[in-house]
Amino acid sequence: MKATAWGQRMRWTALISAVALQGVLVLPAEAAWPTHVLTAVEKDHPLPEVWLGVGYEHIRKSANITREWVQRDANGSPTTAEDIRELAFSEYQHRLNIDLRAGIFRDLELHIRAPIILAYKSQIAFADGVEGTSTIWGTDNADDPNYDYRYPITEVPASRERAGFGDMTFGLSWSPFVDAKDEAYPTLTLTGDLIAPTGSRRDPADIAALPDQAGKGGMGQGQTIFDLSVGLSRRMRLGTPALDPYVVLGARIPVATSAQKALGMQPPPSGRAKVGVDVIIHEVPEKEELYSVDLGFSFRYVGIGRTYSELSDYLPNLDQTRVPANRADPSIAADAVTYNDYADPRNYTTAQDGTNCGALVGVPCGELNRVDEHMEMQGSFALLLKPSKWLMFRGGVQVGFVTNHLITAEKVGEDTDPEGSNATCGGSPCAGRVNASNSRGEDERSPYYDPRYDQPGRRLRAEGIFTLTAFANLAITF
């Protein structure tokens, strides 16, 4: 009896030891993709882990452009301002990314990305059924001297093409905790990226972006961007299949270059969050084999800023502060912009012989716009194939939607007269309004405000925005 009991205890001990050993052997080798970092100077990786990869992205975007338009009754009196259909916008780009990732110390990674925009094209066309009634181009609604603001805005249809080297990313990622090494903690990854303005600056008024030009317009954003994020992930079970859920929170702070500031750029800050799960289908840690599926959902808040919009390449760059000096009739109020003022090339920021922006000759289209705050939502699917420690492939799709928002929301200016001032401007108190000449003789109006499409009741809005991205990445790992 004693021998039998002893034998049973030994068998149970062996079984428990085997199960425990199996649990140790199947501990996850890698964290979820958004929190995974390369390492170096460790027992299993005394030399730096290095990934050298090339990636391809095909990005498409479409949107409907509507416009606030004052509706009038039978007597011609204004009643309401409704959003009416105007334009259909679309763009696509082919992008090649050269990536280098290297572990430089324990769970500390350096990564660099060099993007090359192989091709970019955007175009605008009339929305269905709008060509005969458009307020933008080609109809009496768009060109009527009886209304000052009905000077044609831009020619429709139109397109732009760009290509070239983009803005490089330099960053560090550090995981102070990794669940594969210590089950007591989830994987925690801190990332700091700097996106440098290495690409040729995207100038909305660059005529090289016109389709009949030999060259192509630049695609650099003209910004230094600081991108900070924190990610958490935790493998839910040992062995495979298994789930590795994750969450990533991040913020982006852009700073415009001096050249962009000269154009009035005020890039908007943004914040984002992403939740998802890596479904681990198969994993052999000792061989560094891994096959998984990544399902994710993200949303991004973008603040108000003066930046690129869907119509930046197509809108004229009127400077209303130039109008009084270029006007022959001194009886017209200094803060008014008439039909003839819109037709005068001297009232625009950029002038170039041989160009035109719609009916305006000698001035190319192109203007940064004050874009209202909005949300971007995106769902993603990705497949990761890592058959050995030497090779990795990751590809998938992302589908996104953007909330409707104004894309021409420039302020008329800023009142700088002190409150309570008794000074008058044009017979009215200076304080409490934006003046062409305030109590100090200064023009308070914004040089970026165009009454044709920035004034409430005439503003342009992007609606029904849809994005689609297909991507594939191949990396040699060693």
Where do we find the tokens 């005068």? 344
For residue 468, the cross-strand partners are: 60, 399
Residue 305 near residue 264, CB atoms below 8 Å: no
pLDDT above 70 covers a percentage of the chain that reads 93
On whether residue 192 sits in a domain, the answer given is yes
Give residue-wise pLDDT tens across range 108-165. Answer: 999 999 999 999 999 999 999 999 999 999 999 999 999 999 999 999 999 999 999 9
Q: What is the mean pLDDT of the chain?
A: 92
Q: How far apart are alpha carbons 355 and 176 in whole angstroms?
A: 57
On whether residue 51 sits in a domain, the answer given is yes
On whether residue 336 sits in a domain, the answer given is yes
On whether residue 308 sits in a domain, the answer given is yes
Give residue-wise pLDDT tens across range 307-340. Answer: 999 999 999 999 999 999 999 898 999 999 999 9
Confidence of residue 5 (pLDDT cuts 50, 70, 90): low
Q: Which of 120, 113, 104 is nearest to 173 (CA)?
A: 104
Give residue-wise pLDDT tens across range 227-273. Answer: 999 999 999 877 789 999 999 999 999 999 999 999 999 999 999 99
Average pLDDT of span 79-103: 95
Q: How far apart are alpha carbons 244 and 29 in whole angstroms?
A: 12
Average pLDDT of span 414-438: 89
Residue range of the domain that includes 166: 2-411+446-477
Residue 215 has pLDDT above 50, yes or no: yes
Lowest mean pLDDT among 97-106, 244-253, 428-437: 428-437
Residue 452 near residue 458, CB atoms below 8 Å: yes
Where do we find the tokens 């405000």? 449
Looking from the CA of 279 toward its CB, the CA atoms found within 13 Å total 8
Q: Which of 397, 438, 391 is nearest to 415 (CA)?
A: 438
Number of domains in the chain: 1
Instruction: Please report the pLDDT score of residue 180 as a whole number.
Output: 87
On whether residue 132 sits in a domain, the answer given is yes
Instruction: Please report the pLDDT score of residue 30 as a whole number.
Output: 81
On whether residue 433 sits in a domain, the answer given is no
Instruction: Please report the pLDDT score of residue 181 as a whole number.
Output: 87
On whether residue 426 sits in a domain, the answer given is no
Give residue-wise pLDDT tens across range 154-213. Answer: 999 999 999 999 999 999 999 999 998 888 899 999 999 999 999 999 999 999 999 988
Which two three-digit tokens encode residue 374?
A: 């909005």
On whether residue 138 sits in a domain, the answer given is yes
**End-to-end Cα, the chain, rounded Å:** 58
Residue 103 near residue 38, CB atoms below 8 Å: yes
